[in-house]
Amino acid sequence: MLGETNLNLVPSETAVRQMDALHGTAWHRELLAASSHVARRERTRSRYLRKRTGDTRDLRYDYIPEEDPEAEQSQHYENGLALPDSPSCMSPLQKWFVSRIDSIGIETWETMLSYNISSLAYMYKHHVSGADGSSEYFGVRGERTDEMLDNHASMQSFWTRADSQKVSVHDEAAGLHIVSNPHRMGGPGNVILLGMHGTDLADNAKLVATLQQMYRIDGRDAYGIAASIQEIIKGLPDGFNNPVLTANAVATQTMKMDGSRGERDSIIVGDGVYDFLDYLDLETDGTSYIHSHEFAHHLQYDLGVDQMVDGLSRSEEMRRWEMMADSFGSYFLSHSEGGRMDQTRLLEVHRAAFSLGDCENSIETHHGTPRQRECASNFGSNLGFVSFVDG
């Protein structure tokens, strides 16, 4: 098993920078929040059982220190067992991750976290595969491919027209003026759409190349680690199609001005995203929200509004960035020349925005509470409705 390897695997500085885009997403943050919740719950359960049975130690959790400041909190009872209270605000996404981690088991999950297994599919797709968007499929069986490609073409067309006509849709939704951005890579038409799949990790060549890039290790060591990782994944529910391996959607800007090294501006949507939306019964319009939100980030890159605003803290700036993307995305979805969604469908869009909010407002990557995200989506869609009157 990985936990028994003698190798000290530390991601390279380049890999750490490459994973920053992934780790800054709402998906990854809620995954870590869910992981912490499960760990606290298991810690409390373990201590309760030790006291009840008189054992001096618990073989499964003896590595967890007894002195834990997080353990001093209010409790609730589950089947007679006192457990830490759930956070007063736990997003639907975090609840879903908790259920998925529970199905995996805390020990296996902590091993997966330690070795960045939940980041590997992203690292392969964006930084190793060299994919150019020409032969992508979406969904475990490709069942979402037509929908995703059609939506992407519609977004490219809509925002390219807006860009070429120099209309005020960007300013209207953002509340600011267009500024020059030296990182601009050709506008909305440059954004490619990529699918992220856990099954890529079953391919030795793909996984070994990814591990070598991440850890700067030789081929022999990479093959050994790959075999261990694959054994762990095979033991998961649904194996390589387990949704936690790919539950993320990421908008990534190219690292080079000419878009070389296979790193053109991209949107990567993992198969796990569709599983989460199915869980919420939002499999259609929820997907449109996530896709349009990620596309909106590329508009922000092109407009230069990714730059810090004077007077805002890092967490305030992050909320501004994410909720602006919510507004941009829903503006498109409601616009007469965009998604043309009616109020009934937009309610589902707003529910999807709500589901990706969080309550970790003390951390820098806080994206906005569920209600704030919902309101930002509603604001953008209301701006788009004006197009049916004004043309």
Task: Check: pTM over 0.95? Answer yes or no.
Answer: no
CA–CA distance, 355 with 351 (Å, rounded to integer): 6
Mean pLDDT over 103-126 rounds to 93
Q: Could you report the per-residue pLDDT of 325-372, keeping only the tens digit for each?
A: 999 999 999 999 999 999 999 999 999 999 998 877 767 677 788 899
Residue 111 belongs to what H/E stretch?
helix 106-114
Mean pLDDT throughout 104-118?
A: 92
> 190 with 259: CB under 8 angstroms?
yes
User: How far is Cα 120 from Cα 102, in angstroms, rounded to an integer?
Assistant: 21
**pLDDT at residue 64 in the model:** 38
Burial 223-235 (b: 16+ CB within 10 A, else e): ebbbebbbebbee
Q: Do the Cβ atoms of 246 and 252 come closer than 8 Å?
A: no
Q: In terms of Cα–Cα distance, which of 291, 298, 294, 300 is closest to 259?
A: 298
Q: What is the pLDDT of residues 46-104, one digit of tens each?
A: 766 666 666 555 444 443 344 444 443 434 444 444 444 445 578 899 999 999 999 99
Q: Is residue 270 within 8 Å of 249, Cβ to Cβ? A: yes
Phi, psi of 161 (to 5 degrees): -60, -45
